[in-house]
Amino acid sequence: MRSPSRESPPPPALINVPHHRGRYPVVFAPLDRLPAEMSDAGLKSGKCIVVTDENVAPVYLKSLTEPLEAAGWTTMPIVLPAGEETKSLSHLGTLYDHILPLEIDRRTPVIALGGGVTGDLAGFAAATLLRGLPLVQVPTTLIAQVDSAVGGKTGINHPAGKNLIGAFHPPHLVLTDAGTLATLPEREWVSGLAEVVKHALISEGELAGLLLDHWEAIMSREQATLARILPPAVQVKVDVVVEDEHETGRRAILNFGHTFGHAIERLSGYGTYTHGEAVAVGMRCALDLSKRVNPGADLAVATDLLQRLPIPPRRNTITAEALVAAMGVDKKRDAAGPRFVLLKRTGVAHLASADESLIRESWNTIQSEWM
């Protein structure tokens, strides 16, 4: 294994994300840097709300609040149950009930310490309390670090569907500490890695090469290597959302593997696979379909990466017919049938419809290989 520091320049310690009302930094640093970074981001010490969940609190809450208190902040922690069910109206209400009596004002920051559930829920509370409180994202899952904490989307679920209630509320600051990934349960880790691999497959930068060169070190969560791959993985999302501010529709390429993935999640029953697991299988299907739609395309690197990404044990008997029917009602469909993000070559994605017969063939191929 080559040392990451010898073969390429050090990763940036900061990525600036422009948006229509300003910009915010994504800082790659340990949790105890938070007070200094908040001060640099223009947040003046006083009260701050820290929202986290019951899994994250015992491991990281003190590491966050102690340096803040030492820097003159009064921290008000709120610990919620862990899990997707917490992204609900009732837990949003709980947050309002806890926060409003604290005599906050419009400068009181809300710090979201946790995964995408905490970030989306606390972010939506910040977006709506007093018509908008400053939000600081401190993502502690790989999905949150490379995806949900960046881009400004916040929200909650409704029985009618996921993420149906929400707001665009860009953070003031994102602080990403690769060290927090050490304690992620294995399934959460691999689920996040699926989104990192997705970023590598839809972008032409250095990420795919970095992942291939350092795969073993990544899988063993070696800190220096994680610190090396996180900035380029975040940069892919940043580039896509920044471009999409101009309404190019480019954000859709982030859905690579997701048309199949959403159908697999739904047909197997939500909770059978994590979102990332379903996307890992969905990307294999989308790559197979890419080869059928774009014969002769050079997809060797994409194929290599996807074969390395572990997929979960098969726990379903989804037929091609059921899958095609489920994708027909996918929210990303157009008049010509379901739309897929396909690859012209590794790093170059495009949106296309595909013949039903090809979709069936791809599913049957991947299912027969899926042990």
Ligand X SMILES: NC(=O)c1ccc[n+]([C@@H]2O[C@H](COP(=O)([O-])OP(=O)(O)OC[C@H]3O[C@@H](n4cnc5c(N)ncnc54)[C@H](O)[C@@H]3O)[C@@H](O)[C@H]2O)c1
- Cα distance between the two ends of the chain: 29
For ligand X, the closer CB: 25 or 171: 171
Sequence letter at residue 3: S
Classify 163 in phi/psi space as left (phi over 0), alpha (psi -120 to 50) or beta.
left
Q: Could you say whether residue 84 binds ligand X (CB under 6 A)? A: yes
Told to judge if 169 belongs to the known catalytic residues of this protein, a careful annotator would answer no
CA–CA separation, 51 vs 111, rounded Å?
Answer: 6
> Which of 20, 21, 131, 246 is labelled catalytic?
131
The residue among 110, 109, 45 whose CA lies nearest residue 74 is: 45
Tokens, residue 144: 């949150």
Tokens, residue 34: 């938070």
Hey, which residues between 94 and 123 contact ligand X (CB under 6 A)? 114-118, 120
CB of 44 to ligand X, least distance (A): 27
Told to judge if 237 belongs to the known catalytic residues of this protein, a careful annotator would answer yes
Cβ(138)–Cβ(130) below 8 Å = no
Told to judge if 158 belongs to the known catalytic residues of this protein, a careful annotator would answer no
The set of residues, in sequence order, having a beta carbon less than 8 Å from that of 246 and lying 6+ positions away, is none
CB of 177 to ligand X, least distance (A): 9
Hey, which residues between 32 and 71 contact ligand X (CB under 6 A)? 53, 55-56, 59
> Which of 91, 251, 266, 350 is labelled catalytic?
251
> Which of 169, 255, 284, 339 is labelled catalytic?
255
> Which of 87, 199, 228, 275 is labelled catalytic?
275
For ligand X, the closer CB: 265 or 288: 265
CA–CA separation, 279 vs 263, rounded Å?
Answer: 10
Q: By rule CB under 6 A, what count of residues binds ligand X?
A: 28
Hey, which residues between 112 and 171 contact ligand X (CB under 6 A)? 114-118, 120, 140-141, 143-144, 147-148, 151, 153, 162-163
Told to judge if 131 belongs to the known catalytic residues of this protein, a careful annotator would answer yes
Told to judge if 258 belongs to the known catalytic residues of this protein, a careful annotator would answer yes
For ligand X, the closer CB: 60 or 340: 60
The residue among 208, 235, 365, 219 whose CA lies nearest residue 300 is: 208
For ligand X, the closer CB: 154 or 268: 154
Told to judge if 153 belongs to the known catalytic residues of this protein, a careful annotator would answer yes
CA–CA separation, 334 vs 17, rounded Å?
Answer: 31
CB of 79 to ligand X, least distance (A): 11
Q: What is the H or E stretch that residue 261 is in?
A: helix 258-268
Q: How far is CA 149 from the centre of its chain?
A: 7
The residue whose two tokens read 């803040």 is: 68
Hey, which residues between 267 and 286 contact ligand X (CB under 6 A)? none
Told to judge if 255 belongs to the known catalytic residues of this protein, a careful annotator would answer yes
For ligand X, the closer CB: 91 or 345: 91
> Which of 87, 169, 228, 258 is labelled catalytic?
258
The residue among 330, 356, 229, 345 whose CA lies nearest residue 298 is: 345
Tokens, residue 133: 């409180």
DSSP category for residue 164: E
| Contact set with ligand X (CB under 6 A) | 53, 55-56, 59, 82-84, 87, 114-118, 120, 140-141, 143-144, 147-148, 151, 153, 162-163, 180, 183-184, 188
Active site residues: 131, 153, 195, 237, 247, 251, 255, 258, 262, 275
